Amino acid sequence: GEDKIRLEEMTEIIVRQTNDLRRIVDEFSKFARMPEPETKAEDLARLTREAVTLQRAGQPGVQFVTDIPETPVMAELDATMIGQALTNLIKNGGEAIETLQEKGAPKGFVPELRISLALVDGMAVITIADNGIGLPADRAKLFEPYVTTRDKGTGLGLPIVKKIVEEHAGTLELIDAEPFGPKSHAGAAARITLPILHNGDLV
């Protein structure tokens, strides 16, 4: 099953992502701008599953619940950039959970991330929800450069993630997650909407 994913495959994903990240960061620091996406038809479901696999290994204390179609969801995109954006948002979810645990999570708290990919009105909608600390009162600040709810830096940062999604004609919203249980509080969710290919053509 998914949990028995081969170690070589995992290593390959990590090596590829590390090199990819270096490319984005290099470009970004050189020109203070996003590199142009190098887009081709890619399976967004597979990219989402890869990002989950990687983060599941990196966040062993967190329960992952996924709802990602087994069938390909083809989209015209730069796999490097979208993969990084997804990885970063899942990592942010884990950090929101850590922050709640540091501040004192309720008794019996089970750290959980829920990642889903759904097709809505001819678009792909990826939702990454956590049961962590939740969004700050001032949400406008979330997308300002170098704002983090953590003391440690968090990879690409939300402004870059948002820009990546927008470069792909998509949208990124941060919203309150639906509570995962009857008495649990609401964490945060990132919702990415991206255009997909229908029979090989962009809508």
pLDDT one-digit tens code per residue, 32-50: 567 788 999 999 999 999 9
pLDDT score recorded for residue 69:
96
- Angstrom CA distances, 59 to 47, 85, 128, 169, stand at 18, 17, 15, 30
User: What parts of the chain have a pLDDT lower than 70?
Assistant: 1-5, 27-33, 145-156, 199-203
pLDDT score recorded for residue 203:
45
3-state secondary structure 51-100: HHHHHHHHCCCCEEEEECCCCCCEEEECHHHHHHHHHHHHHHHHHHHHHH
Evaluate whether 32 touches 8 at the Cβ level (below 8 Å).
no
CATH class of 2-202: alpha beta
pLDDT score recorded for residue 157:
79
pLDDT score recorded for residue 153:
47
pLDDT score recorded for residue 4:
59
Type of residue found at 99: T
pLDDT score recorded for residue 1:
55
pLDDT score recorded for residue 11:
82
pLDDT score recorded for residue 7:
81
pLDDT score recorded for residue 63:
97
Segments making up each domain of the chain, as ranges: 2-202
Look at the block and give the residue holding tokens 């270096």.
Answer: 22
Rounded Cα gap, residues 124 and 167, in angstroms:
15
What global pTM score does this model have? Answer: 0.80
Distant-in-sequence, close-in-space partners of 201: CB < 8 Å, separation ≥ 6: none
